[in-house]
Chains A and B, each alone.
Chain A
């Protein structure tokens, strides 16, 4: 293979990883929430609101890092609503998170019109700076990868999520309330408190994923999450509720999206590549490729009164 060919491959790898960033952040967020026993379909809405949060933060301060912070905060607050409804009031988790997605669609458009006077686009805002890292960020092909702060952030957060989940007392407790909340309660742990933390962390992560979308495009457009939250949910399942597994599944789905951009429907119709994440998820759920087992108490509100 000549140098030109290698460069194309490297650029393709870099594109795949970059595309996978918002998926990975949301999928790992979903993993933390569901490991604690709370289904979070609201990832889609949090991505969308996080993207808007980034744009508003960057727009009003002129500082992209403030945008990033705003996105994380918006994610936290949105997930907080889900926690109040589904953990606090013990209402149905699927319906609650679905309702939040619907709020997100309407609310983002409402704010877009009220602040920017447009139903489709925000004003342009600053993107995150590209790092040079002593020449690493300007390497041909992969420079855009190493120079992108969000890529580093995502890698660190995926690894951190793994460590927290499997190597810390908090992680053990979180997994316990997701598997056996009665046991956890007997041990004197607060099921509601731990579950709330799982949900809130998922909100921060998905909010940052939304920030990536807006920072990459330097603006907010209506519906820009484009179903990515649901693909992240799929990646979480395919990754069998493990942070690294979820991140790998995101790379697979990112690869299929990068192929869509690169092939432009030649060789394989784009529509079939679009279906890939969803079809893979159904096949995995059907038990064809190993068994995908959710945490035992996933989706079941814990009500001490009825136990």
Chain B
């Protein structure tokens, strides 16, 4: 018989024994989802729910099912298309929860004991939106069921300690309910504990004032008035005990636990030559080994830690290394700047690698390969498999993996101060041992999370209040932000922080921040606030962060997280746009896409024009991220639909942005007709919208088409649209110059090409300088101005000299030879042609040969030039040169819409029976 416990942390029990579950959160969440829903699911839907993204979702699902099968066989039923959890022979705690009104008291008590915590406690997957939404909804449903059961039990037990226990429990999960507070106050008062009743009222009043900005409602006031009619009892022994501060286990100021044992691990680390990874379960001491090695290092060190996935923090691991770096033009330069900064560092230590983000992983990859520095990382075994970036790093960089296991008995005893009980209960897990020590005597065998939770439960007053806020902020938290979010007075807050520090719950991390001693402690502290209180905490944090001066948008990712959990969907979406744009600036494209996708999911809760506007901004982030185009193209439908709606609703700017995004996508997939259509739409509705990028990409496409002599009419249209946007650029001038030259409007073409050259030179864009100058030179030759052509050729050489690896120098020399030859100078033109053939530049060859065929006085040579020109032009599809050369040869030549005005005039003359001098051979 298998038993599934979903209320509280997920547990599977078979024949009375706990079944070990996969360390992978996603695998555990999948099992919980299958068991809770108790129906068959399409594999495809499960993939969408848990593995949406670029990796192979079906393979990930197969892997997870394999891991789960060993734990819950034979309940897991997987066919080719469906997966289900067969529940008929399994006991699942959420099944058969009683109806409070009709159940007997015994049944109600039994149901109440099933709630060991909130539904699927700690099993959040903020990156999997669909799962998370389902989980949050179910959590609330079961919270309400729990409240109903506890309320009924409180009522049935009358004025008894049992009733008070249930009432207090209800209060922890329903802290903003007047009736819940009133029930506790009344019971305390009725039981003669008037001092406690008054304290409870005071606590309620402060809570409501600080967190809701209101006073408690009438039921609470009524309960208070009733206390006033009874004598106060402030000095019972129990009440005095409750007011004592919790004992501090560690000495104040001693933030780091003693380092014991680990000789084997240290030897293995010392022996490793490449990057090294410490793998082990949470609390086993990986971070402590890293801390020790950082302390022992003889030179400068760098340490960083990855953040849990729910926070969008690109380069989260490298925050300190990136601070103050100037903005760079590409990712490699940014990485180089970091490597430069790490120069001289002897050890780079990265903790919690299982949470590393794509950008941090890419940078770590780069650092490992380029910087001569020792790399030491640590990760939770099992969980690391959930993170594709971490998996890839470990595989690609061939990390030497060192398993960190439990301390042996002697070392555990050394850590536990020879306390046999602690040594035995902890099983060699150092965090467990320390937590047992801090909890004091009389602690029974329990999971480490329960030990930590019990210790936190002993906190009282402002320290208890503060710890939940700090935990919601994250592993490391800034004192100022906590202060702003809680609204606590400075003195009160400092006292609370000091108490938490003395209790070894937090420790200082820099001048203005604190750090939880371990993430398990933070997670337990976070669980202290449930339901509506947690929502409120996140809301205040989101607002406090929004009001923080943050010109770079570094906090936007955190705001998304808090605002979303607070149900502040508009703020979350707005922050998602900011976070996405910041990721784009930092070339963190995977994070940009992730946060934008998350924003799009949240935006579904919005409505009207606000939703349309924010959605388009989020789609902008997705389209502009340089992830493979196949991952972005599926958004085209949504963009088109939103663009249309925006247009109908008169949202010109949003519609223009949508059309621009479509143009970018079509262009990337070489769907020029789609691009032309979209850009046309963009230009129609863009006036005033930010379309610099659109204009640039349109001009680039247009010039490309003109050089290739393909779809010239489309190029013309693209350029017209780019011009309509009205943002000048060298690419636009270049495209227009090419177009005018193609149209035979040389007088207009030349200044445009000169303009393009000047702007390109100012931007050090040598490639476009080169294009502009070569077209100026060939244009001059076509116009018969050989002197001008030679002047342009002279300008080509220094540009070509700046371009490494290509054929530009050779082509410049050939063009100059052609100009001199045309000017009547004695030039070895055959050698120049041989050079062009050698570098295999058929487009140039076609133009040069067709030009030489026109000016050559020796008919045989001219014919030979023209023959080869046809071959070269046909090979690369240069229709104009092919037409000109064929006419020179007297061969049939077809007009097409894409040939140049010059080729057209050759055709016209031939049709009219006239011939150019020397041309018809």
Q: Do A and B bind each other?
A: no
Q: Interface on B for A, CB 8 Å cutoff?
A: none
